[in-house]
Amino acid sequence: MRLLLVEDDVELGRRLSERLRGADFAVDLAKTSDEAENWPDLDKMAAIILDLGLPDGDGVDLLRNWRANRVDCPILILTARGSWQDKVEGLNAGADDFVVKPVRFEELLARLNAQFRRHMGKRENVLEHAGLRLDPLTHVVELDGEQLTLSRQEFRLLHLFIRRAGQVLPQADILENLYELEAERELNTVEVLVGRLRRKIGKDRITTLRGMGYRFGQ
């Protein structure tokens, strides 16, 4: 899943991106309000983590603009401002959660996951599809009760497929969801990755639609 992290503190931004990548997110990092507001692919983000004190503006204004422009993914405020007034303002502006720095990474991750559950309308984290079972928290994938060993990118791809089962996924969408850096995006990587995943989960689960993309499930 892809995340946008808006954080002007270079060191914190770097550390947090690293931890989030370690938790299998693709992370985009924006350092100013202006940069973040017009970030490409906002509609592809599974969530946004937003700092409030930005060099060129207030994160709350950014949040209001996004919500007014129908950016509807979960948005977590992560800020050093911790008064009740700040919290009320942030939540009223459209934030889904308000986290005060410093915070343990584990807590931030748990709060993110709680938002995904709420957003997807599910109480369970585990995703299931015709004998396949994927746990986004533990990264355990099972096929008919047997545990599979997937690489990080195979896991990400399967996660994406299960969440969008039955839909046609263009290769470009897959690339954008899997790789945060444009430089890493090459269409034949998707083909190779799909091929590897097919060998592990069964080739009939993924249909290739020539010139259009892939469809997982029926």
Between 93 and 162, whose beta carbon lies closer to Ca ion?
A: 93
Between 13 and 136, whose beta carbon lies closer to Ca ion?
A: 13
Is residue 81 a contact point for Ca ion (CB under 5 A)? no
Which of 28, 37, 51, 89 binds Ca ion (CB under 5 A)? It is 51
**What is the H or E stretch that residue 108 is in?**
helix 105-119
State the number of binding residues for Ca ion (CB under 5 A).
Answer: 3
Q: Which residue is nearest to Ca ion (CB)?
A: 53
| Residue 115, helix vs strand vs coil | helix
At 66, the amino acid letter reads W
Rounded CA-CA distance 161/134 in Å is 11
Sketch the per residue contact string, 167 through 206, with Ca ion: x for CB under 5 A, - otherwise: ----------------------------------------
- Find residue 127's DSSP bridge partners: 134
Rounded CA-CA distance 127/164 in Å is 11
Which of 22, 53, 82, 166 binds Ca ion (CB under 5 A)? It is 53
The DSSP letter of residue 52 is S
Between 7 and 96, whose beta carbon lies closer to Ca ion?
A: 7
From the list 19-27, 47-55, 165-173, 190-198, the region that binds Ca ion by CB under 5 A is: 47-55
Between 30 and 157, whose beta carbon lies closer to Ca ion?
A: 30
CB 165 within 8 A of CB 129: yes
CB of 34 to Ca ion, least distance (A): 14
Cα-Cα-Cα-Cα torsion 56, 74, 3, 38, nearest 10 degrees, comes to: -40
CB of 101 to Ca ion, least distance (A): 9
Closest CA to 79 of 6, 159, 134: 6
Is residue 8 a contact point for Ca ion (CB under 5 A)? yes
| Residue 162, helix vs strand vs coil | helix
Cβ of 137: how many Cβ atoms within 10 Å?
Answer: 11
CB 150 within 8 A of CB 108: no
CB of 208 to Ca ion, least distance (A): 45
From the list 44-52, 64-72, 151-159, 200-208, the region that binds Ca ion by CB under 5 A is: 44-52
Is residue 154 a contact point for Ca ion (CB under 5 A)? no
- Contacts with Ca ion by CB under 5 A lie at 8, 51, 53
